[in-house]
Amino acid sequence: MDLLSLKTVIRTRDYDASIHFYTKILTLDIVEEYSNENRGCIFRFGDKGSNAFLEISEIPKDHYYYQPEFSKYLKNDKIDIQLQTNDINQWVARFHGKWEITGPIDRPWGSKYLYLRDPDGLQIIIYQEKSKQ
């Protein structure tokens, strides 16, 4: 009864803007794409052995699963995606002039956090542990 992987799904309001953000800004690779009743794609975090995935899904307004919140920019910190790095300064340089960020900020436990938001308002945190600095 082991849990074998994790996939987080984001119902995006602007599929093209989200694809740009996750491929060009965060430089994630798409491992699967689909287009049937809705469009979507799946990204893998880490190397090919990783079982952590992110799915971006566009649900059209006439789809049975559609909810009005899917079409809104919802800045909400109830959930965020946190990505660990071994060099936070490289990420700061990568975002410079391309995307709005806050940080890096030294957290009380010694890690450094860099905050940004995806096109739907979802908070993304890139962090570097103290032991990796």
pLDDT over threshold 70, residue 133: no
Domain limits at 132?
73-133
Structure tokens at 2: 């082991």
The residue from 17, 37, 71 where one domain ends is 71
pLDDT over threshold 90, residue 62: no
67 and 78 in a common domain: no
Instruction: Find the CATH number of the domain harbouring 6.
Output: 3.10.180.10
Split at pLDDT 50, 70, 90, the class of 60 is confident
**pLDDT, tens digit, 9 for 90 and up, residues 121-130:** 999 999 999 8
> What's the confidence (pLDDT) of residue 63?
78
- Note the pTM of the prediction, 2 decimals: 0.85
92 and 46 in a common domain: no
77 and 67 in a common domain: no
pLDDT, greater one: 108 or 37: 108
104 and 39 in a common domain: no
